[in-house]
Structure 1
Amino acid sequence: MPHPPTTHRTEHTITVAAPARRVFDLIADVGRWPETFPPTVHVERVEHTEPADGSAAEERIRIWATANGEVKTWTSRRELDHDRLRVSFRQEVSQPPVAAMGGEWIVEPVDDVRTRIRLLHDFQAVGDDPGNVAWIERAVDRNSGAELDALRTAAERTGDAEDLTLTFEDTVEVPAGIEAAYTFVDRADLWPERLPHVARALLEEDVPGIQTLEMETRAPDGSTHTTRSVRICFPDERIVYKQLHTPALMTAHTGRWLFEEDADGARITSVHTVVLDEKAVTSVLGPDATVADARVFVRDVLGRNSTTTMEHAAAHARDGAPGA
C-alpha cells in the first residue's frame, strides 16, 4: 500500500510597529497585493461571500506570483475572520512541483501600536520528491520573508502614506477594430522599431499568456533606464503587468492595458498605479524636490510614454484595417 504524501509545515514571523487592525486590512485587501507584496504580480477576486450573521467571509481568488524566478498561477479559497484577525487559505489546484498547499495569516496584537504576524504554510510535493520539496521550501522561505518585510513597510507608513501612492489613466480612441491594437501592445518585442522611447526590448513567453519583458526606455534628455516586468495577457481584452525592476523613484509600479469595443467605437486605456520611494525623491529630482513634485514627474513621464504607445497602436490598427 502506498504511503500517504508527507505534509511539510513552515512558520515565518515578524513584529511590526503598527496597530493590528491596519495589518489585518492590508492582508485582507487582495486588490492591493501587487503594490504591497513583491512576489505578487496580479490578483483577481473570483467570488466573495459576506455572511449576514457576521461570521467569517469567504472568497476565491486567482493569483499570479513569482516563485524562485518563475511565474506561477493558482486559485485559492480564503476565509477571513475579522474578529479573530485571521485569514486562512487553501489552493484549489496547485501547480507542480506543488501537489497541495494551504496556510494561515495570524495577526496578534502585542499592544496598541505593535503587532506580531505569523504566516503558516503546509504543503505536499509532487511525488514526495526531495528535489520538489527543496524547491518549494526555497520558494516559501523567500516569498514569506519578502511578503512580511513588505507588509511591515506598508503597515508602518504614516501621515503622507496616501501621497506616496497614485493611480491615473489615459485613453486613446482606436479608429478600427481592437484586435490589431491589442496585437501591437502584445508584441512588445517589436517596440524598439515601432516606438521612439523604446531603445531595447526582450520579450519571453514560455507559457502562453504569461510574458516577461525587459525594456530599455529613453527619457527626453537622452538618458535610458531598464525595467523588467511580468505581463499577464487576456487576448483582445487586457494586459496587466507588474515591474519587477523599477526606476529609482518608485518602490512599486503596476499597470493595465484595457481594450474596449462597443457601439460607440473602440479605445485603449492605460492605467498606472505607482508607489513612490520617498527617500529617493531628492536624489532623483534635486535637493528641493518634494513628494508632490515626484507625483507630477511620474504622472507626466509614464502618461506620456503610455499615450505614445497607444497612439502608435491606434495608427497600426487604422493602417491595417481593410481598405486602408
Structure 2
Amino acid sequence: MSSQRVHASERTASVSAPAGVVYGLLADAVRWPLLLPGHLHVERMDFDGVRERLRVWDLPGGERIRSGHVRRILDPRTRTVAFTQEDTARPGAPTTGSWTVEEDGATGSRLTLRREHTLEGLPAGRSARSGADLDRETAELLGRVKETAELWERLDELLLSFEDSVRVPGPAELVYDFLHRIADWPELVPHVEWAEVTEDLPGVQLAVLDGSAGPDGRSRTSRTARLCFPAAERIVFKELRTPEPIAAHSGEWFLVRENDGVRVVCAQQVMLREAGVEAVLGAGTELAEARRQVRMWLGRAGTEVLRLAKWHAQSAVRRLR
C-alpha cells in the first residue's frame, strides 16, 4: 500500500543572541561547515543578493557522505530564509521550508525551522521512517544553530584562519596526485602512522588516520572527510574527530599554476572550544595563546605535507629525465 502525503516538521527554540546575529549566521551558508557540525562543505553556485543556489555536502548519521542542491531566498527585512532542498538520499519530492528569526526581548530571539517533505509512493512503514528522520534532522539542525549563535560575543576570538604554501617547479598533476593518495601517506608522511580510506564515490573520501600531529604531540586517531575536485585542483577537507581545544577544523588544499611551476596552498579554518583550552594548555591560558599554539600545531603538520608533495613531484621529474 502506498502513501502520498506531506510530512511537516516544525521546531522553535529560544536563543540567547540578538535576532540580527542569528539571521546573519543563517544567511552565511558558506561558513556552515566550520560553525555547524553536520555540514562538510558548501559552495555557492549562484547569488544575486536575494536568491542563491548552493551545493551542499553533509554526513547524516556519520557514515555516508551525501550531496544535494539548495535554492534559497533571503529576506533580511523579515529575517526569513526560505529554501528548497533537493536531496538525492531521500526519495520523493524536494524538502521545502524556512528559517524565521524573531526578536525576543532586548538581546534574545526566537528561531523557528519549518520543513516539509512529500512522501510520494512510499510504503507506509518507509513513509513513517522518512518522517521520523525529517523530525530528528530538524531538531538537530535547530539545536546546532542555537548552540553556535549563543557564542556570538566570543566568536571572533574563537575563530581563526591561516594559510601555508610552497612553490614547486614541477607539474601540478604530480603534486595533486600526492595530496589525493592519502591512503599512501603512512609510507610518505612521518607524522602519519596508519591510514584507512573509504571512497564509495570517486573523489569522496572518508579517511581514518593514526598519527602524532595532535596538540600534545602524542599519537591520536583522526577521522576526516575529503572532497576531491581534480579539474579545479582542489581537495576540501573537514576533520570529524577533533582534539581539545579544537571544536571544528576544516580547510582545503589547492594549486595555483604559475609560469615556472605551481604554488601549493593549505588553507585552514578553526573554531576553538573554550572549555578545552585550559585542560590541554594549562590553567590560566588565554584564547590568544590558544590561537597561537593551534596555528603552530596545524601549520606545522600542513607544511610538512606541502614540502613532501614538493619533494614527490621533483623526485618524479628527476626519475623521468
* TM-score normalised by structure 1 residue count: 0.91
State the partner residue of 1:255: 251
Q: 1:175 offset after TM fit, Å?
A: 2.1
Q: 1:153 offset after TM fit, Å?
A: 2.4
d(CA) in 2 for partners of 1:142 and 1:42? 21
CA shift in 2, pair 1:97/1:157, >3 Å: closer
State the partner residue of 2:200: 206
Aligned-pair identity in percent equals 35
State the partner residue of 2:219: 224
State the partner residue of 2:172: 178
Q: 1:132 offset after TM fit, Å?
A: 4.4
Which runs of 5 or more residues in structure 2 are unaligned?
Answer: none
Q: 1:222 offset after TM fit, Å?
A: 5.3
Aligned: 1:149 with 2:110: no
CA shift in 2, pair 1:137/1:312, >3 Å: farther
- CA contact 2:172–2:261 (8 Å) conserved in 1: no
State the partner residue of 1:54: none
Which of 302, 308, 312 aligns to 1:312? It is 308
- CA contact 1:68–1:138 (8 Å) conserved in 2: no
- CA contact 1:107–1:118 (8 Å) conserved in 2: yes
Aligned length: 316
State the partner residue of 2:88: 95
State the partner residue of 1:121: 115
CA shift in 2, pair 1:43/1:132, >3 Å: farther
Q: 1:252 offset after TM fit, Å?
A: 0.7
Q: 1:167 offset after TM fit, Å?
A: 0.2
Aligned: 1:279 with 2:275: yes
* TM-score normalised by structure 2 residue count: 0.92
Which of 283, 286, 293 aligns to 2:289? It is 293
| CA offset digits 1:56-113 (Å, max 9, x no partner) | x11111100112332111111100111111101012x430333221111111222221
Which of 180, 186, 193 aligns to 1:192? It is 186
State the partner residue of 2:54: 61
CA shift in 2, pair 1:29/1:222, >3 Å: closer
User: What amino acid does structure 2 have at the position aligned with 1:33?
Assistant: W
Q: 1:130 offset after TM fit, Å?
A: 4.2
The alignment's C-alpha RMSD in Å is 2.1
Aligned: 1:10 with 2:40: no
d(CA) in 2 for partners of 1:135 and 1:213? 29
Q: 1:269 offset after TM fit, Å?
A: 0.2
Q: 1:284 offset after TM fit, Å?
A: 0.4
d(CA) in 2 for partners of 1:194 and 1:46? 36
- CA contact 2:2–2:123 (8 Å) conserved in 1: no
CA shift in 2, pair 1:16/1:268, >3 Å: same
Which of 149, 157, 162 aligns to 1:163? It is 157
- CA contact 1:98–1:132 (8 Å) conserved in 2: no
SS in 2 for 1:280: helix
SS in 2 for 1:154: helix
| CA offset digits 1:163-184 (Å, max 9, x no partner) | 1100000011122111111111
CA shift in 2, pair 1:3/1:43, >3 Å: same
Q: Any runs of at least 4 consecutive aligned residues in structure 1 with deviations exceeding 6 A, and if so which? A: none
CA shift in 2, pair 1:243/1:219, >3 Å: closer
d(CA) in 1 for partners of 2:307 and 2:21? 41
State the partner residue of 1:266: 262
SS in 2 for 1:7: strand
User: What amino acid does structure 2 have at the position aligned with 1:97?
Assistant: R
CA shift in 2, pair 1:205/1:277, >3 Å: same
Q: 1:4 offset after TM fit, Å?
A: 8.2
- CA contact 2:58–2:66 (8 Å) conserved in 1: yes
| CA offset digits 1:264-310 (Å, max 9, x no partner) | 52021001100001111111011132111111111111111011011
User: What amino acid does structure 1 have at the position aligned with 2:271?
Assistant: V
**Greater alpha carbon shift after TM alignment, 7-16 vs 272-281:** 7-16
- CA contact 2:66–2:89 (8 Å) conserved in 1: no
CA shift in 2, pair 1:137/1:242, >3 Å: farther
**Greater alpha carbon shift after TM alignment, 115-124 vs 134-143:** 134-143
- CA contact 2:115–2:138 (8 Å) conserved in 1: no
